[in-house]
Structure 1
């Protein structure tokens, strides 16, 4: 059972998302919070497997919660659910440690799949808004400067699937590779791109035009 925490300041939105996810086997909303501080308290109290996080909230927003989790070394995967009305805010959230994001108009199947992927350690960037994110990366604040090394064709194949939210096991099945081999490729990609994690690697690859 995936234990999820839902953080959104709009009561109706929280109720709607909770009602939908209650229809999905294997996902349980263990708590709700209306802002970033309440979310942080709920993470400490309930220790969820994943946080579903809105970014735009009064008082303490989603970025506040992400920074608090990072600064407190609290390792819980965060999936951002947003209307995507602020490109730079989303980029800041990804850089602060969010492992994925979705628009709030996704289907239930897409939402449930994203929850499973991110809770399982994967990274998910919704294809429908990847191009908009790419424009934001290129026009907004630059990524930390760091040298990068060229990727092989196989490493690029792995990186594209990472960007699509595939887990290591799923990448292995898609490319006919052992899961251990995929882990080695992912580690090499992180080193070559000077990226601290999978999400940062995807952002850097988008910035450098490696994903097409």
Structure 2
């Protein structure tokens, strides 16, 4: 089978088994479901085990620290370069949309869309596009407006790995938890945190959390 013909490999994450079954049945033939998960912990384990092209991710999930889909993305931070997340939820609130996009999702669609539409969204996200249900795109444009330019200038000081570490530390992860999530040593985490604090001119992880919260990076 050629690369162009290879099926798009996905993991489906939702805490309702009936919905997962229906979604699998509705996906097009060129989309192959590798695994399913119902909780934050199961989702992180499934993504780590299968390294799918796309994760179809419900925003609200049981388990973990109670942060749902955002926590799954954070827990898979070391895989974000190759795994893309598409949020799929009944919620169409601006808060849910913006928070999961800030966490690293490539798109957000509501569960009211058809099987053909979700299949198309999966293909587009797998290809590198950002995909949103029509009325949700405005939330993202409002949230990532001109104020985002200053934030991007500050974030440009950080390397890709430092940015990953910064986000996890700012969300309250311990050094040990960050090390486990990114598959690096605790000593390496400590070095990255020191570099982040120095580059952002901050003196502690508590200041870092406030800095990230003020810029809506959590």
Asked if structure 2 preserves the Cα contact closer than 8 Å seen for 1:69 and 1:75, the reply is no
Asked whether 1:9 is paired with 2:20, we answer: no
Equivalence for 1:204: none
- Secondary structure in 2 matching 1:94: helix
Q: Equivalent residue for 1:19?
A: 25
Matches within 5 A, 1:146-165: 146=151
TM-score by length of 1: 0.60
Q: 2:51 aligns with which of 47, 51, 59?
A: 47
Unaligned runs of 5+ in 2: 1-6, 154-218
Deviations 1:95-139 (A, max 9, x none): 11100010100011110100000011211122233235556x39x
Equivalence for 1:106: 113
The residue aligned with 1:82 is 89
Residues 64-106 of structure 1, C-alpha deviations (whole Å, 9 max, x = no match): 1111122565630000001125421221110111000101000
> Matched residues in 1 for 2:113 and 2:92: separation?
16
Q: How many residues align?
A: 143
SS at the partner of 1:145? helix
Q: Distance in 2 between matches of 1:81 and 1:94?
A: 12
Contact 2:94 2:136 in 1 (8 A): no
Which structure: larger Rg? 2
Instruction: Name the CA distance, whole Å, in 2 between partners of 1:66 and 1:147.
Output: 20
Q: Structure 1: give runs of 5+ residues left out of the alignment.
A: 149-212
Under a length normalisation based on structure 2, what TM-score does the superposition of the two structures give?
A: 0.59
SS at match of 2:150: coil
Match of 1:168 in 2: none
8 Å CA contact 1:2, 1:26 repeated in 2: yes
Matches within 5 A, 1:153-192: none
